[in-house]
């Protein structure tokens, strides 16, 4: 033995030097154990609970194929989002009809109780309202305040001006579909009118004083701001006290407006019942060049108008000649009620969907814990 292998204090080791490792080129692979000399790496999933003989999705003793691993990762990463996207799309398709129905119902409620659009078919209110204008009426305002002089009101003339019109259908289903058609402007009522309120219940309305002015409770009205340019307040004279619960209304284009003056021979002496008023026209929404609010003229703000009405005077005869513009007002196809319906329906549907999703998540968590 060589002394080179000795260590101080221990002497020479009892074995000879290690022989060189033989060349591996001529060796063969042992089945199931891989190539001799190759370092084995545990495959994914091979752990203490999995022995060499257990199936881990690959050939025993060999690492899993890289393509298979990438494919599995893609299924885990991309499969779930695809399924979620499909579920969301199916959920949206199921909820879309519900959204449309909710929007239509809300639009119907808004049209019936809050706001409705109307189309101006005649020149009886020029030049405050021109032919083709579209206005919105507020149906709630008179639940909070009374009708004011100078208000532009939309009213139903059935029974006061239109005695030949048949009574409306009382069937609730027929009325529902009629209102539904009104939302999109398919139908229009032939007995709806729009005029300006001149006299309230108890008011004494006369025309005209020596200066050609209209007087209410003895107070002259300055009507140049709204009466059609160049026209007088009225070419026909009248003297009337408005009965309780009724209104005296006139158009702004006095020469062609078929208003209370043309119905003085009818029951009510040309006045209309307050209960027939559907709402107050408060804004022009179309065309864009005509946008603006319909405010009460300043002449109707005179405090003397609220004085006690004078003694009732005799009514004059009805207008001798029929005037050419008793055209009823038409319901407009304004999309506002439907747009408002969708504006309310979308957040409601979103809240319902969110609540349902949270409830489903909670149920899934509870099931997982069990």
Residue 352 belongs to a domain? no
Distance CA 123, CA 128 (A): 9
State the average pLDDT over residues 17-29.
Answer: 58
Mean pLDDT highest for which of 12-21, 47-56, 162-171, 215-224?
Answer: 215-224
Exposure of 235 in the CB half-sphere (CA atoms within 13 A) = 13
More confident residue, 85 or 147: 147
Look at the chain and report how many structural domains it folds into: 1
Residue 319 belongs to a domain? yes
Residues 244-285 have pLDDT tens digits of 999 999 999 999 999 999 999 888 899 999 999 999 999 999
Task: Give the model's pLDDT for residue 276.
Answer: 94
Whether 139 is catalytic is no
State the average pLDDT over residues 293-305.
Answer: 93
Indicate the DSSP class of residue 35. S
> In a 10 Å sphere around its CB, with 0-12 CB exposed, 13-18 middle and 19+ buried, how is residue 17 labelled?
exposed
Q: Would the pLDDT of 184 be above 80?
A: no
Residue 100 belongs to a domain? no
- pLDDT band at residue 308 under the 50/70/90 scheme: very low
Question: What DSSP line would sit under 244-272, residue for residue?
Answer: TTEEEEE-SSTTTB-SGGGGTTSTTTT-E
More confident residue, 47 or 176: 176
Task: Give the model's pLDDT for residue 342.
Answer: 59
Out of 139, 195, 257, 334, which one is annotated catalytic?
195
Residue 281 belongs to a domain? yes
Whether 124 is catalytic is yes
> In this structure, are strands 246-250 and 214-216 parallel, antiparallel, or unpaired?
unpaired
Residue 209 belongs to a domain? yes
Q: Would the pLDDT of 121 be above 60?
A: yes
Question: What DSSP line would sit under 45-106, residue for residue?
Answer: T-STT--TTS--SS-TTSPPPHHHHHHHHHHHHHHHHHHHHHHHHHHHHHHHHHHHHHHHHH
- pLDDT band at residue 209 under the 50/70/90 scheme: very high
Residue 318 belongs to a domain? yes
Task: Give the model's pLDDT for residue 361.
Answer: 82
CA angle 327, 333, 336 (to 5 degrees): 130
CA angle 15, 17, 22 (to 5 degrees): 125
DSSP-based three-state secondary structure for 363: helix
Task: Give the model's pLDDT for residue 273.
Answer: 95
Distance CA 124, CA 196 (A): 10
State the average pLDDT over residues 123-139.
Answer: 93
Residue 102 belongs to a domain? no
Out of 43, 122, 123, 124, which one is annotated catalytic?
124
Q: Would the pLDDT of 100 be above 60?
A: yes
Residue 97 belongs to a domain? no
Residue 281: domain span? 115-164+186-337
Output the domain CATH number for residue 157: 2.10.109.10
């Amino acid at each position: 033995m060589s002394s080179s292998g000795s260590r101080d204090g221990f002497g020479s080791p009892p074995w000879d030097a290690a022989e060189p490792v033989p060349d591996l080129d001529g060796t063969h692979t042992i089945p199931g154990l891989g190539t001799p000399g190759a370092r084995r790496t545990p495959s994914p999933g091979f752990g203490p609970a999995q022995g060499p003989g257990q199936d881990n999705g690959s050939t025993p003793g060999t690492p899993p194929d890289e393509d298979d691993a990438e494919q599995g990762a893609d299924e885990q990463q991309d499969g779930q989002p695809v399924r979620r996207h499909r579920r969301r799309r199916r959920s949206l398709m199921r909820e879309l009809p519900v959204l449309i129905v909710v929007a239509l119902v809300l639009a119907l409620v808004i049209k019936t109780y809050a706001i409705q659009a109307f189309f101006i078919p005649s020149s009886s209110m020029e030049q405050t309202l021109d032919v083709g204008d579209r206005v919105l009426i507020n149906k709630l305002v008179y639940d909070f305040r009374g009708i004011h002089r100078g208000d532009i009101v939309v009213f139903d003339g059935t029974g006061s001006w239109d005695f030949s019109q048949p009574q409306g259908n009382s069937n609730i289903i027929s009325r529902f579909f009629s209102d539904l058609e009104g939302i999109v402007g398919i139908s229009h009522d032939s007995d709806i009118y729009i005029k300006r309120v001149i006299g309230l219940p108890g008011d004494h309305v006369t025309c005209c004083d020596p200066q050609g002015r209209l007087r209410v409770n003895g107070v002259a009205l300055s009507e140049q701001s709204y009466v059609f340019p160049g026209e007088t307040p009225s070419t026909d004279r009248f003297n009337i006290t408005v009965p309780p619960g009724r209104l005296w209304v006139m158009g702004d284009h006095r020469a062609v407006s078929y208003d209370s003056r043309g119905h003085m021979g009818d029951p009510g002496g040309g006045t209309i019942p307050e209960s027939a008023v559907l709402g107050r026209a408060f804004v022009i929404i179309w065309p864009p060049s005509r946008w603006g609010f319909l405010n009460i003229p300043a002449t109707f703000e005179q405090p003397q108008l609220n004085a006690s009405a004078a003694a009732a005077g005799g009514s004059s005869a009805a207008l001798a000649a029929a005037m050419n513009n008793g055209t009823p007002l038409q319901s407009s196809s304004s999309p506002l009620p439907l747009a408002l319906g969708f504006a309310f329906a979308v957040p409601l549907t979103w809240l319902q969907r969110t609540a349902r999703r949270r409830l489903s998540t909670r149920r899934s968590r509870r099931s997982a814990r069990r």
